Structures are given as structure tokens and as C-alpha cells.
Structure 1
Amino acid sequence: MLKKQIPNLITLLNLLSGSIAVILALQNQLLMATVFVGLGIFFDFFDGLAARSLNVQSELGLQLDSLADMVTSGLVPGIVMFQLLCQALGADVLAPLAWGASTFEINFPLIALFGLLITLGSAYRLAKFNIDDRQTSSFIGLPTPANAILILSLPLILHFHESEMVTTFILNPYFLIGLSILSCILLNAEVTLFALKFKNLSLKDNWYRFLFLLMSLVGIVIFHFIALPFIILGYILLSVLVQNKA
């Protein structure tokens, strides 16, 4: 039935967006890769909404959603972090190998592979999500789309906030490696985080969701892309506060 396939088609648009972002990230076009990841996250939000609205949730949809997220919110952030580490280490990963070069020659610093920890952590988190029945109305650990926003905020900040201090801070290999490790921890931490799923519009039931959306909007308007990492941090802290009050 066509109605059952509507959420799956939206999920495939997420996967398509993520696949295009992979190609762009490999070409070191990090801004365009970020745009397509954002588009993929948009589709990721609406595939679940469509499935619930049409009452056509399925096991196939769940698995397909995780596979799409693995590309859009798992693989791309890892490649972006790899590229940022290469940039921080002064490596030109776009330089092609000379014709006839050794098959086993590597033209990037091996330490940049630390960025792919994000991809590994995302895969582990998504696999756990699929078999964890505690995550129907909330999340255990940072969702992969939120983590992708955290990582992909870095090229946005570098491009749109031209500051020597900010650039020096972000393009510090120790900072980038530390953030990659922290990302893996946050993705798989046994911390309950609220989901932006409104069962009703009651202020009593959703005050923390409204507060988070308001804080995010104000932060973006005032501080632009620099606000994105702090929005993710605020999301975690607010979730912990809500959990302690429950």
C-alpha cells in the first residue's frame, strides 16, 4: 500500500542527502556537506512524524531509519572531523598521489583517523537504539543527529565567524581529538535525554521542550552558528535537570 511507503520514501531522501554529503565531505567541501546533512536531518525528523501520523510504523522503517542515520549523522561527521584534523595538522588531503605511486602509500596523517571514532561511536549507538525498548519516548545517550549538529557546527563557525582566536582554538589537534572522544562518550552514555515529540501542547507537560526551543532560537539569533555547540550542551543539561525532577 502506497501510504505505508511514504515514511520510507522520506527516509530514503535522508539517505540520499547523506550520500551526497559524503561525496562533498571527501572533496573537502565541508559547508556544502553540512547543508546536505541538515537536509537529511530534516527528512529524518519528518519520516518518524509521517509514520506516526499515518499510523504505519514498521520494523522495516525502524531499520531503514537507522541505516540512513548511519550515513547522514554517523559517517559524514566522522569524515568532516577527519578533514578538520588534516587541516589542523597542515596536510593537503586533496593532493592526488603521483601516477605509479606505491599502492600502499598514504597521503594523510594517520592521527587524523581519530575523527572516524565519531562514525564508530554512532554505529554502536544506533545498534543499541534498535534493540533498546527504553527509548520509545526519550533517548539514552545523545541522538546521532544532535551529535552531527555538534560536529558540523565547527566548519560553519570557521567559515562565518572569522576570528583568529576561534580558528586557532578549533583547529587545535588536541581539541579535535578530545571532541571526537567526547562525542563517542556522549553518544553512548547512560543518560536519559528528552525527545522533541509533542503528544500535546500543554505547557505543564512540555515546559522543558518549549524552553529548549526558545533558548535555541534566541541563541541562534544573537550568536549565530557559535550557539550550536552550546545548544547541544544546553540540551544535555536541561535533560539531566528534567530527569532529576521526575
Structure 2
Amino acid sequence: MKSYIPNLLTLMNVLSGCIATVFAVLNHLELAALFVFIGIFFDFFDGLAARVLDVKSEVGLQLDSLADVITSGLVPGIVMFQLLNMAERGGWNLGFFGHDDEMTVLPFVGFLITLASAYRLAKFNVDEDQVSSFKGLPTPANALLILSLPLILLYHNNETLSSIILNQWFLLGLTVVSAYLLNSSITLFALKFKNWSFKDNGVKYLFLIGSLVMLLTLKFLAIPLIIVFYILASLLISEKDGK
């Protein structure tokens, strides 16, 4: 019976991703973000449950990636589509963009994030080196980065930030950078601890503490900064290990 628990958690990730997809298509981006966060929560605990219960399986590995394609690949792509659509229309709009509205090719560039996420997940499944670390930005981290944008627009109410986020060149640039980071060769640490020693895990502890402080002080604006912090901390670990 215990062998079904991790897969059940993964299926809850799939369900969360499906619900987030519906809200993203309807341009209810706050609710889409909420269900992506819930899906990532299940994504973390399905792997943890598999390790604790010692019930890892090939089916579970494949199912986990299929779930991530939806929650952390498709949904961010749709959100970027909506943001690019808003940028073209000249401002923040939570209405549903129906089929009668005029539409250009530009917003569809947002789905480059979905394509890059799917390709990254396929590579991850056949790469035996990505156990204690990752090559490239993990799809959940990238999803958090993209989903933070509408939340910053909604909750920070800052004209400067809004003008930057709803600038189509910024969004196009972020889309390209996102696709690159997902499939780059940059080694990024995984939050897995072989022991609780600060000596062996100092950078990881500092990352977690720093992330918590930023979230408490900067709220949703902290998410992009945490992703940058994560990349820089990983490069620091790589440099340290290389010496």
C-alpha cells in the first residue's frame, strides 16, 4: 500500500497543474499561481515520501516529470502568453481574452518556456548525474519566477515595477533567459542534506535563511531575487568544490 503514496502525491501535482491551467487560460493569474504553488508543494513531498518509504520506481520518475510538464511547464508558458498579450494592449487587464479579440504572433513566444521545460525534463530523466545537484534551473524554480510577475503587479502596486514587467522587450528577454537557464550546463545545488552539519551545508543554510528573510520583507518581489540568489549561491558552491 505504501508504494502508492508517492504516486498519489504526484497525481495531486497533476490535478493542481490542470486547475492552474484553467485559471491561467481564463487570465485569473493569481489563482493560477496559487495552484502552481500547491502543485510544487506536492512535487517536493512526493520525492520525499519515496525516499522515506524507500519505494522509488521508474514509473514514479516518469510520472513526476509528466506532472512537472503541466504544473511547471505549461502553466508558466500560458502566464507569459497572457503577460505578453497585456503588454501589447498597453496595460494590466484581468479580463478573459476571447477568440473575437485581435491577436498577434508575439504572445505565443511565451510558449518557448513550455518547450524548454519539456526538453529539460526529458534530459533530466536520462541524466544519471543529476542526483545531488541539477544542471540548469529546475522547472519548479523557473515556474515560481514566471508566476511571481503577476503577483508583483497585483500586490506591490508600484508604477515603476509595473512598467518594467509589462514591457514586451523585458518579457521577451526574460522568456529567452528562462529557456536558456532551464537547459544550461550551470550546476545548481539541490536542497538535499546528507547530514545537518553547517560545515558541509553552510551555503544551503544561508540560502534558506536569506530566502526566508527576503520573503518576509519583500513578499512576492523576493521570488525573482531568490532565484538570482540561488544561482549565485550554486556558483559559489561549484567554485568551492572545484578548489
TM-score by length of 2: 0.95
How far apart, CA to CA, are the structure 1 residues paired with 2:75 and 2:12? 15
How far apart, CA to CA, are the structure 2 residues paired with 1:202 and 1:124? 35
Percent identity between the two aligned chains: 58
1:205 paired residue number: 200
How far apart, CA to CA, are the structure 1 residues paired with 2:99 and 2:217? 45
Q: Name the amino acid aligned to 1:74.
A: G
How far apart, CA to CA, are the structure 2 residues paired with 1:79 and 1:164? 24
2:127 paired residue number: 132
Shift in alpha-carbon separation, 1:107–1:5, aligned structure 2, 3 A? farther
TM-score by length of 1: 0.94
Conserved 8 A contact 2:136-2:182: yes
How far apart, CA to CA, are the structure 2 residues paired with 1:15 and 1:84? 24
Alignment of 1:27-106 (within 5 A): 27-90=26-89, 94-97=96-99
1:153 paired residue number: 148
* 1:169-222 Cα shifts (integer Å, max 9, x gaps): 100000000000000000001011000112221111111111100010111111
1:190 corresponds to 2:189 = no
Shift in alpha-carbon separation, 1:122–1:165, aligned structure 2, 3 A? same
SS of residue in 2 equivalent to 1:139: strand
Offset, 1:53:
0.1
Offset, 1:110:
1.0
- What stretches of structure 2 of length at least 5 have no aligned partner? none
Divergent runs of 4+, >3 A: 95-98
Q: Name the amino acid aligned to 1:208.
A: V
Q: Name the amino acid aligned to 1:184.
A: A
1:164 corresponds to 2:151 = no
* 1:59-89 Cα shifts (integer Å, max 9, x gaps): 0000000000000000000000000000111
Q: Name the amino acid aligned to 2:108.
A: L
1:112 paired residue number: 107
How far apart, CA to CA, are the structure 2 residues paired with 1:95 and 1:239? 40
Shift in alpha-carbon separation, 1:59–1:108, aligned structure 2, 3 A? same
Aligned CA RMSD, in angstroms, stands at 1.3
Offset, 1:97:
3.9
Q: Which of 204, 207, 211 is the aligned partner of 1:216? A: 211
Deviation larger for 199-208 or 133-142:
199-208
Q: Name the amino acid aligned to 2:193.
A: F
Deviation larger for 10-19 or 83-92:
83-92
Offset, 1:95:
4.4
Shift in alpha-carbon separation, 1:95–1:193, aligned structure 2, 3 A? closer
How far apart, CA to CA, are the structure 2 residues paired with 1:245 and 1:120? 33
1:143 paired residue number: 138
Offset, 1:50:
0.1
How far apart, CA to CA, are the structure 2 residues paired with 1:236 and 1:144? 14
Shift in alpha-carbon separation, 1:95–1:236, aligned structure 2, 3 A? closer
Shift in alpha-carbon separation, 1:95–1:65, aligned structure 2, 3 A? closer
Conserved 8 A contact 2:26-2:97: no
Shift in alpha-carbon separation, 1:190–1:97, aligned structure 2, 3 A? closer
Offset, 1:94:
2.7
